[in-house]
Chain A
Amino acid sequence: MRKGADRILVPILFCLGLVFLLPLIVTFTNSFMTEAEIALNYTSRLTVFDLVDGVVDKFIQIRLIPKSFSVDQYKEVLINQPSFLILLLNSLKITLPVVLGSLIVSMFTAYGFAIWDWKHKEVLFSVYIVVMLMPLQAVLVPNYIIADMLHIRDSYLAIILPGIFSPFGVFLMRQGMKAIPPAYFEAARMDGAGYLRIFWHVAVPQLKSMIAALCMLLFIEYWNLVEQAVIFIDDYAMEPLSVYLSRLAEGRTGLVFAASCIYMFLPLWFLTLGQKDLEKGIELSGVK
């Protein structure tokens, strides 16, 4: 009886969605503009020519459709600035270890929480939650102190190691573990399986969605990393692309669009691939 509802809903949602996607669309289409057009659109300084034309107030114009289609920006980014690929590699060097490491550590830790029977384990877990809730700036000083003590301050490890042991992964995995009906574990114990085997053959397969979700969320977060990189990495050649992009933002507007599109491509692609899993995982994290 609600068939007609679809006809109204679809357009509404579509419009809403369009508004949400607008920044992405703009970035994408503007990346195909020529440098000159970008310079023309994105400046609000009055030139003498403007004054002659009687223009009193000038504004930045965001055009959706390029006047002339060109791949100049992409060429500039990929070919003329080879450092771009190096920086991209740097981003990967940080993100991949974090994702993999955090995954493994979190799964083991969450499993441990699941099978350990200690009356205070919830208290311990709530410590994890409190640290998880803290904003980045609050966590930065402790990270800095320990990185300094371990002499890894000027390296990727200062970012990777705290990332691997971050409480967020443990939280997600624990929620996922809770979603597995205890019956499975009991049955396996009955069959005499050792804990490690149970982990590998019972827990892990059930957690597939959660694993995908965690990977996605961590990837997004560390692909997007800016503050920690600025603080811990001194060498310009070692900084990840996210930092470079944010530095660019106020200079070569033209480059930013193309570079952003390339940079966004990976996470977006992962999103389309793993959307189902991501959603399932986010779902499961809600299970209490």
Chain B
Amino acid sequence: MRIPVGVMFILPGLFGFILFFIWPFCISLGYAFIDKPINGSFTGLLNFIELFRNKSYLRGLSNTIRFIAISVPLNMGLSLGVAMLINKMKKHKEFFSLIFLVPLVIPSGSMVSFWSSLLAYDGALNGFLQTVGVEKIKWLDSNLALFVMVLIFIWKNLGYNMVLYLAGLSNIPKDYYESAWVDGAKPRQSFRYITLLHIAPTSVLVLIMSMINSFKVFKEIYLITGSYPHESIYTLQHFMNNMFASLNYPQLTTATTVLVVIIALFAQTLLRLERKASE
């Protein structure tokens, strides 16, 4: 029995991957079917039904979906815009792309005091507003908090997507634009038919990476507003984090399993889209 060489190379990594991720996940799955973390009894699908009746979970779910629906397209659009701007520049391309990459590199803990000093009800931003005669605004304590979260997300992740788009843009041969201009096409048309088309494959990847990063913004928000923030920014991660802290493993694994299913479906659709896009 000859083992393909490829398998030999994959094996160590795969083994670790299964050991630390897949197998324990299957074990934790067991928690989803019992009622109490210790000495619990089998309850079948009850946990799943209960989960979708749980108000806090539903809030977290709807907030997460809302957040992703707003922030990811916004991020993609803005980063495309910035990439296009930088792309048009002759000199200093690198300097400017460096600037936008910096937020990605700064550790969250360092920025927390800045953000909370800025956005607190008695923070610098409100101070500024007061001097120009505007009422104080509850940045973190009202429905505006969602937009604040989007802002922080974009600030941190614009650079990443921008680099991806820059690469994609630079692969488009300049002659396409030249010939389009010669043919009398307006800038908007050349944008739609040339740029967007060739950007499509890159966009799919940008979408994936943006989604991953949108989950990561939880860290900053958590450090600024704590475990129980305003209800408009209480996300799935908050829910799961609190479950973990109060050792409610059954509910936590139920939520995780549901999430895995959602993400798997999403990834499937995405990959299919991508295959179509590259044609």
A–B proximity contact (CB within 8 A): yes
Determine if A42 is an interface residue (Cβ-Cβ < 8 Å).
yes
Which of A165, A242, A271: most chain B Cβ within 10 A?
Answer: A165
Residues of B within 8 A of A220 (CB): 104-105, 107
CA distance A161 to B18 in the complex (A): 12
When C-beta atoms are compared, the residue in chain B nearest to A253 turns out to be B113
Residues of B within 8 A of A130 (CB): 260, 263-264, 267
Instruction: Say which residue of A10, A231, A282 sits within 8 Å of B160 (CB atoms).
Output: A282
CA distance A111 to B101 in the complex (A): 29
Known A9-B85, A286-B201; contact A276-B94, beta-carbon cutoff 8 A: yes
* Interface residues of chain A: helix, strand, loop or mixed (majority): helix
Tell me the residues in window 1-32 of chain B with beta carbons closer than 8 Å to chain A beta carbons.
Answer: 4-14, 16-17, 19-25, 27-28
Determine if A62 is an interface residue (Cβ-Cβ < 8 Å).
yes
Determine if B278 is an interface residue (Cβ-Cβ < 8 Å).
yes
Q: B105–A106 contact, CB under 8 A?
A: no
Q: A108–B12 contact, CB under 8 A?
A: yes
CA distance A205 to B201 in the complex (A): 26
Known A141-B252, A286-B167; contact A165-B20, beta-carbon cutoff 8 A: yes
Q: A9–B89 contact, CB under 8 A?
A: yes
Known A12-B85, A279-B166, A286-B205; contact A133-B267, beta-carbon cutoff 8 A: yes
Q: A170–B13 contact, CB under 8 A?
A: yes
> Count of chain B residues with Cβ under 8 Å from any Cβ of A?
103
Binds B, one of A66-74, A78-86, A112-120: A112-120
Tell me the residues in window 199-235 of chain A with beta carbons closer than 8 Å to chain B beta carbons.
Answer: 199, 220, 223-224, 226-227, 231
CA distance A24 to B244 in the complex (A): 33
Cross-chain pair count, CB within 8 angstroms = 297
CA distance A256 to B28 in the complex (A): 38
Residues of B within 8 A of A249 (CB): 109, 112-113, 116, 223
Q: A116–B88 contact, CB under 8 A?
A: no
State which size class the interface on A falls in.
35 or more
* Interface residues of chain B: helix, strand, loop or mixed (majority): helix
Determine if B91 is an interface residue (Cβ-Cβ < 8 Å).
yes
CA distance A11 to B158 in the complex (A): 19
CA distance A20 to B105 in the complex (A): 12
Q: B86–A24 contact, CB under 8 A?
A: no
When C-beta atoms are compared, the residue in chain A nearest to B255 turns out to be A138
Q: B23–A146 contact, CB under 8 A?
A: yes
Instruction: Say which residue of B12, B112, B216, B244 sits within 8 Å of A141 (CB atoms).
Output: B244
CA distance A270 to B126 in the complex (A): 36
When C-beta atoms are compared, the residue in chain A nearest to B24 turns out to be A142
Tell me the residues in window 29-81 of chain A with beta carbons closer than 8 Å to chain B beta carbons.
Answer: 42, 44, 57-62
Which of A6, A60, A250: most chain B Cβ within 10 A?
Answer: A60
Binds A, one of B45-53, B69-77, B234-242: B234-242
Residues of A within 8 A of B218 (CB): 135-137
CA distance A97 to B223 in the complex (A): 26
Q: A137–B240 contact, CB under 8 A?
A: yes
Determine if A21 is an interface residue (Cβ-Cβ < 8 Å).
yes
Determine if B137 is an interface residue (Cβ-Cβ < 8 Å).
no
Tell me the residues in window 87-132 of chain A with beta carbons closer than 8 Å to chain B beta carbons.
Answer: 105-106, 108-109, 111-118, 126-132
Residues of A within 8 A of B90 (CB): 3, 6
Q: B24–A145 contact, CB under 8 A?
A: yes
CA distance A198 to B11 in the complex (A): 18
Determine if A245 is an interface residue (Cβ-Cβ < 8 Å).
yes
Determine if B123 is an interface residue (Cβ-Cβ < 8 Å).
yes
Report the minimal beta-carbon distance from B34 to chain A, rounded to whole angstroms. Answer: 14
CA distance A10 to B91 in the complex (A): 9
Q: B7–A112 contact, CB under 8 A?
A: yes
CA distance A245 to B100 in the complex (A): 24
CA distance A20 to B127 in the complex (A): 21
Residues of B within 8 A of A10 (CB): 89, 92
Q: B164–A134 contact, CB under 8 A?
A: no
CA distance A61 to B252 in the complex (A): 41
Determine if A190 is an interface residue (Cβ-Cβ < 8 Å).
no
Known A141-B244, A256-B110; contact A115-B256, beta-carbon cutoff 8 A: no
Q: A146–B19 contact, CB under 8 A?
A: yes
**B interface residues with partner A (beta carbon < 8 Å):** 4-14, 16-17, 19-25, 27-28, 82, 85-86, 88-92, 94, 96-118, 120, 122-124, 126-127, 130, 136, 155, 158, 160, 163-164, 166-168, 201-202, 204-206, 208, 211-212, 215-216, 218-219, 223, 236-237, 240-241, 244, 249, 252-253, 255-256, 259-260, 263-264, 266-268, 271, 274, 278
19 CB-based A-B contacts, threshold 8 Å: A13-B82, A16-B82, A57-B130, A62-B114, A116-B6, A126-B267, A130-B267, A131-B22, A138-B255, A143-B20, A162-B21, A224-B108, A243-B109, A249-B113, A267-B106, A271-B98, A275-B97, A279-B97, A288-B201
